[in-house]
Chains A and B, each alone.
Chain A
Amino acid sequence: MSSKSISAASTEMAALLRLKDVSAGYGSFAALFGISLSVESGEAVGVVGPNGAGKTTLMRVISGLLPPTGGRIELEGDDLAGAPSYRIVAAGIAHVPENRRLFPRLTVEENLRMGAYLLQARKHFAERLDGVYGRFPRLKERRTQLAGTLSGGEQQMVAIGRALMSKPKLLLMDEPSAGLAPRVVDQVFDLVRGIRAEGLTVLIVEQNVRRVLEVVDRAYLLETGHIRLAGSAAELKENAFIRQSYLGL
């Protein structure tokens, strides 16, 4: 059942992010087994799979919230495996966590300010803030509102905006559509398309296979800690296994 067909050509040099044989777990429970994947600059890559497959673990390992037990995580060639989160963020990776994880008793603007905590980001706070408000006018209206009182969709906007404040090279998005109403889900994926179009590199983890395959260039299928399939979005959409198990066709 395992086939690895990588049709998109990606040379060693061009990859922005490259995972080589990464393993990770929680105590004695192993969640990821020898994961290898890559993301090129300017690409949008998806990671799909069922619950418990290890998608969130994968995100946490890349952003440094969880140290890997083995393997390399290379950002532009530099191995970041095991580095603390704040250093990984400084290197240019921003992570929009599962369930948003805003600071509930800080205002919208304060949450965004936290996104710009890095010294190099503070200098550009004002302009980037304008950029985020430009993208999300609704947030500008609510800039002094406590983040915990926002609706799910608005919180997602804040979470994404917060990640963008550091002007990352790579944006990690963990299940951005989770728990959101269908109309809001549309907005989120439109947003991803928009960010994508501006040239930002995105790695997005999703359970909603159909929607995510519409916005990414390539995707990986992660099942029980292993990469089962990889290919372009088009290829995966046509893949029989995917169609049967995840698209219900």
Chain B
Amino acid sequence: MSGAGGARALGYAALAALAALPFFLSSYFQHLAVQIVIWSLVYTGWALMGRFRLTSLGHGAFLGVGAYVPTLLWNNYGVTPWLGIPAAMALAILLAMVVGYPCFRLKVVGHYFALVTLALGQVVLLVIVAAREITGGSLGMTPRAVGHSWYALQLPDKASFYAVALGAWLLGIAAWHWVERGMQRPALEAIAEDEEAAAAVGIDVLKEKLRITALSTGLTALGGALYAQYLMYLNPESMSGVGISLQIVFAAIAGGMYSMFGPTVGACLHHRAQRGAARAVRHAFRRRRQYDLRRAACRVHHLHAARHRGLGRADGGAAEAAGPGHARGPGGRITLDSLRRF
């Protein structure tokens, strides 16, 4: 009796400590804390599937949906993120269901499932880049800034954002707890071990898988949305695609994907490591890449613009840009965009 009460009291104390944390930290560490909390949510979301052998290599897809949808709604229609984010989560879950339902129904598992998710992550990235008119493509986009506003969920004051992030993280932990305590966990573990046997004892395999997928992708989308709102900058590379998807997998597993706070530990590990040279390099690269892209995009040289777009047509020429009689040809500087058009 008192043991359970004692544990709970400890839990509340820890929670209070966590909540109060930002007030004791310098700005830089506050920044780190916010990032860790948000990514903990994302990794926890992934781990909800990963721990039951539903290894997704494409969670970047849901991160991307979560990041871009509220921003697009806000920028174009003035929809507050408080509505935009749930909408994004719903959309992410819908996407997961659309792909997941046939997958689970047709027993696409293991390597095949992982690679389908990989493809999904890429699709979202490509769609974001393709829709560059509204998303800014590889250059990225920013939410329309209105200074400090709870309505717009733009909180330059890190401590406030930390509170929001912490709340979301708690949501993730609560979800984990719900799965642990309920019938979901033994059902899903049974499914993970032997799907046919599980079905034979009456477990609705399809429903369980879909449900945990919905939970996982919804939380991931939430994390993506918060990250975008916090950074006030989105770009497809860091919000979708293979790189970030793999990062999620690694961090979640490194911290331990079978335990409630494992993914959170993974976030701490990952983002501390980021402080090293690795982060400096990656940052430099991202900046450099953007610089190259801007430089290329700003080039007025008609032929060059035609050329590098033309490369993308995989035909070595630029059918659209060049009229008859215009010189066409491959070569020229190859930018990331054209590389992507492999």
> Do A and B touch, yes or no (CB under 8 Å, in the complex)?
no
Residues in B lying within 8 Å of A, measured CB to CB? none
Residues in A lying within 8 Å of B, measured CB to CB? none
